[in-house]
A and B are shown apart, each in its own frame.
Chain A
Amino acid sequence: MASRTSRTVIVGAGAAGLATAEALRAGGFEDELVLLGDELHDPYDRPPLSKQLLSGSWTDDRAVLRTREQLRSAGVAYRPGVRATGLNTAEQALTLDDSASVEYDALVIATGMTPRRLPFGHDLRGVHLLRTMDDLVGLRSELRPDSRVAVVGGGFLGCEIAATCRLLGASVALVEPMELPLRNVIGDDLGALVADLHREHGVAWYLGRSVAGFLSVDGRVSGLRLTDGRELDADVVVVAIGAVPCVEWLDGSGVLLAESGGVRCDEHGRAQDGVWAVGDVAAWYSPRHARWIRVEHRFTANQHAQVVAADILARRPFITTAAAAAEPMVPYFWSDQYDFKLQVHGVPSGAFEVVEGSLDERRFVGLYVDDGRVSAVAGAGMAKALRRWRQAVVDLTPVTDLPGWRSAV
């Protein structure tokens, strides 16, 4: 061990892993920094995949976060196309799929998620997932203005894919097992708004139903059969039914998982001594929620990276701690569908009440009030107003303290 400098290894070169590497360097980290990515691309941003890249309004290079030349000059040893297959925390060593082994002094787990699959149908041509750049290229190459697209899953990803496909001129069917899309995330009012939005743009919803099977001709999908027996024609199917944390490589390592399946960490992202986890794969303890929460939002990757870099740097008394952790851990996400741009701060729970604008105009700010306190704020078309309301989430403000609060929510 004494023969080399200290080495930090980050497993996963998505937004969270990359941001952790950059935050370490920005904070003065001078030792060896290795960034392992299981894809062959330069690190890229995923949110544009379902929007600007699928529509073709951006060229793919617009989503690249850093080129390997930029990483090299930042002193980050980026190793694309390498997957971690095992972890031995006692030896402080990783095994890799090229059968090599890498020792570390600090390990950051940033392996993200892998899309959930249906138990059938993924072997058919025309059936797609959308998580990676390669997925995107495969899906996009099949979309035509006269395509008949079926999107399975009416979550944010499915809704964004549906919107983009409609903008490209394809006909779109959206299949969602709940009676209202997104009701489990943003509640009934905004779920109904999103459902109406897509109806107005010509999307055919099949709510309250799931997919029972696929129809195919010569190994290519030709449609799907729903649980109510109805059959839909489709030449392109996108399955967007959520994703699960990539943790199988941690089996037997002693790294503990939370109920959500993510790596269980304290509020500084520590999984155990010398091991941290960031981004989609990480379930951090949230003092404000008094439980471990795993947050699959793009912004959380950046928040986690700042906190973990500061924590790793703090182990080294000769380096000043980065001024990062003062940021309260309030999640943030957005979703763009057609011209509707939804933004949410916090983790919505409780009743929803509009406080500015109106849902009918789709220009509003609304609060989620749980147990008399503001759990989250959501808005569209009023970005600056929404930003100001966020403080009520940070403070968990009792609604009775809000000026002008008039409702008995």
Chain B
Amino acid sequence: MKLSADQDKCIGAGRCVLVAPELFDQRDDDGVVEILQEQPPPAQLEIARNAVALCPAAALFAEDA
């Protein structure tokens, strides 16, 4: 799986960080998403999918590699 984010769509809700703190963070100044691991390890795949699915701004994407 490959994670990507559309930072222009991101609203800084931080939902992804709440679900998957090992995969996502927020920029300090405006809260916009930063991806920490583009390719989540196997143990984090389900969590990654959940974070993507919950994003209220539809700003996250998970492509099956």
Closest approach, in angstroms, between the C-beta of B3 and any C-beta of chain A? Answer: 15
Q: Which residue of B lies closest to A386 (CB)?
A: B14
Residues of B within 8 A of A343 (CB): 11-13
Q: Which residue of A lies closest to B14 (CB)?
A: A387
Asked whether, in the complex, the Cβ of A336 is within 8 Å of the Cβ of B11, the reply is yes
Segment at the B interface, from A141-149, A242-250, A251-259, A298-306: A298-306
Asked whether, in the complex, the Cβ of A383 is within 8 Å of the Cβ of B56, the reply is no
Asked whether, in the complex, the Cβ of A299 is within 8 Å of the Cβ of B13, the reply is yes
Instruction: Check A235 for interface membership: any CB of B closer than 8 A.
Output: no
The A-contacting residues of B in range 10-33, CB under 8 angstroms, are 11-15, 17-19, 26, 28, 30-31
Q: Which residue of A lies closest to B25 (CB)?
A: A384
Assuming the A-B contacts A26-B49, A336-B11, A341-B12, are A384 and B31 also in contact, with contact meaning beta carbons closer than 8 angstroms in the complex?
Answer: yes
How far is A45 from B9 in the complex, measured between Cα atoms in Å?
A: 11
How far is A191 from B35 in the complex, measured between Cα atoms in Å?
A: 35
Asked whether, in the complex, the Cβ of A306 is within 8 Å of the Cβ of B50, the reply is yes
Asked whether, in the complex, the Cβ of A299 is within 8 Å of the Cβ of B54, the reply is yes
Closest approach, in angstroms, between the C-beta of A25 and any C-beta of chain B? Answer: 11
* 30 pairs, A vs B, C-beta closer than 8 Å: A19-B53, A22-B53, A23-B53, A297-B56, A298-B56, A298-B57, A299-B13, A299-B15, A299-B56, A302-B53, A302-B56, A303-B54, A305-B53, A306-B50, A306-B53, A323-B46, A323-B47, A332-B15, A334-B11, A334-B13, A336-B11, A341-B11, A343-B13, A383-B13, A383-B14, A384-B31, A386-B31, A387-B18, A387-B26, A387-B31
6 more contacts with CB within 8 A, not counting A62-B9, A65-B58, A302-B54, are A15-B58, A47-B57, A299-B13, A343-B11, A384-B31, A387-B17
Chain A residues within CB distance 8 Å of chain B: 15, 19, 22-23, 26, 45, 47, 62, 65, 297-299, 302-303, 305-306, 322-324, 327, 332, 334, 336, 341, 343, 383-384, 386-387, 390
Chain B residues within CB distance 8 Å of chain A: 9, 11-15, 17-19, 26, 28, 30-31, 46-47, 49-50, 53-58
